[in-house]
Amino acid sequence: MSNPLPTPGHTIGPFFGYALPYEGDADLVPSARPDAIRLHGTIYDGAGRPIPDALLEIWQTDAEGNVPQAEGSLHRDGWTFTGFGRAACDLNGHYSFTTVLPGPTEEGTAPFFALTVFARGLLDKLQTRIYLPEHPANAGDPLLVSLSEDERATLVATADATGLRFDIHLQGDRETTFLNYG
Amino acid sequence: MTTPETQADISAEIDKIKADAEGLAKEGKPSRQPLLDYPPYRSSALRHPTKDPRHADPETIELWSPCFGHSDVNPLEADLTIGVDSSWNTQFTGEPIGERITVSGRVLDGEGRPVRNQLVEIWQANSAGRYIHKHEQHPAPLDPNFTGVGRCLTDDEGRYRFQTIKPGPYPWGNHLNAWRPAHIHFSLFGRAFTQRLITQMYFPGDPLFALDPIYQSITDQKARDALVATYDHDLSVPEYSMGYNWDIVLTGPSRTWTEPEENDK
């Protein structure tokens, strides 16, 4: 029997705001936790304007590099790390997660946040990775080494006072490098 | 101010792209995914990447998916006609207006295996074609007994089931006299991060299909058909609701399949 054909994606449209965001969606850990960081940034269109109707999701290992398989992302108890977060951008195109730095799944590999981008005007999801700045394992990461310096720069966050900043550009000189896994 | 573009303008663009795509499809494999750069959908102009995505071999975290369970979803959230809010309180005092429907189907992976115990989220307009979203400007009536938001977990066969009312078509600003075919938005998690999917389910025989630049952004007819539910009389409930079946296939690499006995906690 042949495999079933995949269901196509479609744009998230403009009206997800009352449906997909939920209380605590972007807070993978409480901000009072000692190792909590903020991962934030702005998403821009090809004219350099912020996109106010985008929805971002991250999925990550815990600080020790374990893949979380605990439920509870939709009703967070403040103690269980589920690894999943969702953030709707505000009217300035800004998003903000409260989380911890992901650990490497294997010794010597580069940790990253897996990122999915949805937006009105974007006909299907986009996926990519957010790498940690100046992480020693970045130099040997198979994806990062396959990219040009400019492309690589679009996938590495920058450190700021509260954690990490990562801007997303759907088009333009600094167009973010997006990935396919096929 | 420029003259607003008409449906005829948009339809001409749709037809041109379709003819080009059919030419390409004859030479190779037709694409099953929407074109991200699809000018008839005006909002895509500045929001599609101009570079091809780069290939990445999925790493450990990408081969797993977030886990959801009964602490996340109340079974009552699958019934949009009773309106359970995020704190699981019932919000409505009456029943929503509209044609009651049951929408059910299976979530499968690319090898046809069920995606079990995974989150399905839906949202939709009411029967008059109005969303409760605060930026929605279509002056159709709101329904105090309908929010149009639902969630459920798939069962052991990958099956989901929602009780709702049929959404209406609604106008939008893409061009003059633009109307979206009636649809329900679906958000799905697979067995791996790479399988994450947000899409829309349509109803069979909608006269707006040919005119809609979002639906037509998928240039392959078979792929477009995969977004259309089928009327299923066995899902219709006597004296109560009409039934629609819609199966969803998620693709993307995932880790090696293990039997549920080993896989489940």
Residue in B46, B132, B199 closest to A9 by CB: B199
How close does chain A come to B49, measured CA to CA in Å? 5
The residue of A1, A7, A43, A169 whose CB has the most chain B CBs within 10 angstroms, and thus the best one to mutate to test that interface, is A7
Nearest CA to B192 out of B260, B115, B113 is that of: B115
Using the 8-state DSSP alphabet, how is residue B224 labeled? H
pLDDT of residue B265: 39
In chain B, the residue whose alpha carbon lies closest to the alpha carbon of A112 is B61
Range of the domain at A108: 16-169
Q: Is residue A71 part of a domain?
A: yes
**Residue A65 predicted with pLDDT over 60:** yes
Dihedral sign from CA coordinates of B201, B140, B173, B10 = positive
Question: From the list B43, B199, B253, which residue is nearest A8 (CB)?
Answer: B199
| The three-state (H, E, C) secondary structure of A118-173, written as one string | EECCCCCCEEEEEECCCCHHHHHCHHHHHCCHHHHHCCECEEECCEEECCEECCCC
Distance CA A132, CA A39 (A): 11
| Partner residue facing A23 (CB), from B86, B123, B134 | B86
Give the CATH number, domain containing residue A72: 2.60.130.10
* Chain B environment of A45 (Cβ under 8 Å): 46-47
Nearest to B241 by CA among B165, B135, B168, B186: B165
Region at B83 (left for phi over 0; alpha for psi -120 to 50; beta for the rest): left
Total domains in the fold of chain A = 1
- Looking at the domain assignment, is residue A101 inside a domain? yes
Would you call B47 a catalytic residue per the annotation? no
**With an 8 Å Cβ cutoff, are B149 and A9 in contact?**
no
Query: What is the b/e burial string over A15-33, where b = at least 16 CB atoms within 10 angstroms of the residue's CB?
Result: bbbebbebebbbbbbeeee
Domain residue extents for chain B: 7-46+66-252
Compute the distance between CA of residue A81 and CA of residue A66 in angstroms, rounded to an integer: 10
DSSP A105: S
Whether ipTM > 0.85 holds is: yes
Q: pLDDT tens digits, residue range A148-174? A: 999 999 999 999 999 999 999 999 999
Tally DSSP H helices, then E strands, for chain A. Answer: 2, 10
pTM comes to 0.95
Query: Would you state the pLDDT for residue B263?
Result: 44
Q: Give residue A134's Cα distance to chain centre.
A: 18
The answer to whether the CB atoms of B193 and A59 lie below 8 A apart is yes
The CATH class for the domain spanning B7-46+66-252 reads mainly beta
Q: Is B135 a catalytic residue?
A: no
Residue corresponding to tokens 């074609």:
B129
Our answer to whether residue B180 is catalytic in this structure is yes
- Find the mean pLDDT for residues A23-40: 97
From B180's Cα to the closest Cα of chain A, the distance in A is 11
Mutation target vs A (from B55, B193, B214; most A CBs, 10 A cutoff): B193
B228: DSSP letter: B
For chain B (length 265 residues), average pLDDT per consecutive 10? 86 94 76 94 97 95 96 95 81 90 97 96 96 81 93 98 97 96 98 96 98 97 96 95 97 67 43
